[in-house]
Structure 1
Amino acid sequence: MTTAPTPVPAPASAAQSGGGAPGSVTPVPTAATDAATEAPRPGRRRGTRGRAWLAALPLLLFFVIGFGLPAIAIAIGAFTTSTDALDGGGTFTTDNITGSLQGAYFTALWGSVKLSLLTAAIATVVGLPLAQAVATSRFGMFREAVMSASGVLANFGGVPLAFMFVATLGNSGEITKRFGLAKHGWSLYTFSGLSVVYLYFLVPLMVITITPALEGLRTQWREAAYNNGATAVQYWRHVALPVLAPSLLGGFVLLFGASFAAYATAEAMVGSSVPLISMQIGDALSGNVLVGQGNLALALGLDMIVVACLVMAVYLPLQRRSAKWLA
């Protein structure tokens, strides 16, 4: 009877070099593999987090001093009588909040909300295709130029912006006179005219906001849709827009907040002809209120803070959901 030969084990050098048969060689652990597989120590993680909080401390202090303390002062003043009141001021009252939601003040608040909703919606619709053209462009210089210009225009406002539109589209502006816009009922100093001015910086802001989300759309999704017979319209309707919906809504909310808080441009251009809550606050701070209602401006400011908090409460979850989809 013939016995089977005993298999000879592979030498150590073959095991280390990977020259043995598959499945018969056990890799020799080394210092490099041990270091790579070593789990991070809990103490090291705590130290990293502590340094991160320490690095963010200046920003947190700035936020508390620049935003927290003024917000607390506004909230306290909104519920107390002013120093020009008959009782000497400082007593608790809800008359300031009640007055800020009645009459001309409520009209101004509603006017700001309407203006913000309209301009944010138009800027979202106009800015999306512009951002898509930038995101899909093959020319790097074109993309850099558009993004740089959008960054400048998104922060261009105040008196210079008002002067530019008055000189071009005002009653005696160059474009108004050249094309006879006044004969067709055009007026810059109305709700519609102010909406056009706001779009000048809201559309670039939308381009900056939505372009990263458009760049996050994967090419494989478009190719898969086209391979299954979908058209471009069907791709955008069933794939791209559902994925971009959180980013679009987040951008809309951001534009709403930017329009709602704008003050200098409207004040320099239309004055009190278009009622806005920001200009009512300016008038109240300058003393244009009845005796005993000096803190009414603080109540109006508290109304704006509440609206801004609601905007942020909607914006932040949408941004987190969009980041999860586009990661």
Structure 2
Amino acid sequence: MARRPRLRGATALLGTVPFFAYVTVFLVIPTLVVVIGAFAGDEGGFTLGNVEALGNGYVLDAFGRSTALSAMSAVIGAVLGALLAYALVTAKPDGLLRRTVTAAAGVLAQFGGVTLAFAFLATIGLSGFVTVWLRDTAGIDLYANGVWLFELPGLTLVYTYFQIPLMVIVFLPALDGIRPQWREATESLGGTTWHYWTRVAGPLLGPAFLGSTLLLFANSFSAYATAAALVSQGSPLVPLQIRGALTSEVLLGQQNVGKAMALGMVVVVSVVMALYTLLQTRTSRWLG
């Protein structure tokens, strides 16, 4: 009888082997390659020159642009996504509207890369059908002040497209955890809607909202394919700078500098995800 629990435990452990193998091949090994390469010289040996290169102006500018882009798209996506998630909470839990929107959010949150860039180019690009229609029918030129779609404002708009549905997915469980009895208790004690949101629901949802915003920040900060498809000249973002360092035929010997920039991204994302985990722990304590 004692062997059966051990056999079940061994079987359960064996079932996790594919997961750990996947994590090792696609996460652990690439991370080790980045860390080792960031401190390796071109001819071998240990060096801090690659990390010191992160203080160069173009690298700091790329980190600043990536941070600004991630922050703006995260805040916009968090606010709009939270409002959409709240609208879903007020609908029937098993209703068609909620099931349809949540299913669409699950798909659109993963809709990025070249496909998303092409969709925006075909819609509001220089020759997009909306751009042409507004110019021919209403005399409105979307690009009267410059080609903003390929700059920071355009990237923010494109990134917000997949940030909003991601916010719906991660913030909806927190809204579901708010019990109607809490509002009834507030009203029975003479409280108003303002009191309920500022003293009951707001403090409880605050950590969940901030944690979801941090998750959106990390999601945007690490995005590559969409920006690579839209930005054809220059390397204004860190992922594009890394691509240039690894593939450039003009500046040779920059591969390890690219790995140092990747290490910087790993550090930033790790800090953000650590804060996200702390906030999620506090949220689950109250809304679990």
TM norm structure 2: 0.90
The one of 118, 122, 141 aligned to 2:96:
141
* 1:292 shift after superposition: 3.5
Residue of 314, 319, 322 corresponding to 2:275? 314
Range 276-285 or range 99-108, more displaced: 99-108
Distance of 2:147 and 2:40 partners within structure 1: 45
Q: Please identify which structure carries the higher helix content.
A: 2
Tell me what 1:55 maps to.
15
- The one-letter code sitting in structure 2 at the alignment partner of 1:80 is A
1:262 is aligned to 2:223: yes
Distance in 2, Cα, partners of 1:288 & 1:241: 53
Give me the whole-angstrom Cα distance separating, in 1, the residues matched to 2:9 and 2:89. Answer: 36
1:122 alignment partner in structure 2: 76
Distance 1:166 1:160 in 2: 10
Given that 1:210 and 1:251 are in contact with CA atoms closer than 8 Å, whether structure 2 keeps it comes out as: yes
Whether contact under 8 Å (1:127, 1:207) holds in the other structure is yes
Give the partner amino acid of 1:243: L
Equivalent residue, structure 2, for 1:305: 266
Q: Is residue 131 of structure 2 the alignment partner of residue 170 of structure 1?
A: no
Identity value in percent: 43
C-alpha deviation, 1:172, in angstroms: 2.4
Q: How does 1:15-54 map to 2 (within 5 A)?
A: 52-54=12-14
Tell me the equivalent position of 2:29: 69
Shift of 1:47: 7.3
Structure 1 191/226 Cα, relative in aligned 2: closer, same or farther at 3 Å? same
1:158 correspondence with 2:113: yes
Q: CA RMSD of the aligned region, Å?
A: 2.3
Aligned match for 2:56, one of 93, 102, 105? 102
Secondary structure of 1:155's partner?
Answer: coil
Q: Quote the offset at 1:271 in angstroms.
A: 2.7
Partner SS, residue 143 of structure 2: helix
SS in 2 for 1:182: coil
Deviation at 1:277, TM superposition (A): 0.1
Farther-moved stretch of structure 1 (268-277 vs 65-74): 268-277
1:129–1:284 CA distance, 2 compared to 1 (3 A): same
> 2:176 aligned to 190, 215, 218, which one?
215
| 1:189–1:234 Cα change, 3 Å | same
Q: Is the 8 A contact 2:245 2:251 kept in 1?
A: no
Q: Which amino acid aligns with 2:38?
A: A
User: What residue number does 1:112 align with?
Assistant: 66
Shift, 1:290, TM fit: 3.1
Query: 1:223/1:163 Cα in 2 relative to 1: closer, same or farther (>3 Å)?
Result: same
Q: Is the contact between residue 285 and residue 297 of structure 1 (CA under 8 Å) also seen in structure 2?
A: yes
Distance 2:83 2:187 in 1: 20
Report the alpha carbon displacement of residue 55 of structure 1 after superposing the two structures with TM. Answer: 3.1
Unaligned runs of 5+ in 1: 1-41, 83-88
SS state at 1:275 partner: coil
Q: Distance in 2 between matches of 1:285 and 1:112?
A: 19
One-letter amino acid matched to 1:69? I
Who is 1:242 aligned against? 203
The amino acid of 1:237's aligned partner reads: T
TM-score normalised by structure 1 residue count: 0.80
Question: Taking CA–CA contacts closer than 8 Å with sequence separation of 6 or more, which of the two structures ends up with the larger relative contact order?
Answer: 2
Q: Counterparts of 2:235 and 2:41 in 1: how far apart (Å)?
A: 29
Matched AA of 1:146? V
Work out which of the two has the higher radius of gyration on C-alpha atoms and give 1 or 2: 1
What residue ranges of structure 2 are gaps of 5+ in the alignment? 135-139
> Which portions of structure 1, spanning 4 or more consecutive aligned residues, are displaced by more than 4 angstroms?
42-52
1:131/1:207 contact within 8 Å kept: yes
Structure 1 residue 190 and structure 2 residue 190: aligned? no
- The answer to whether residue 41 in structure 2 is matched with residue 81 in structure 1 is yes
CA shift in 2, pair 1:165/1:58, >3 Å: same
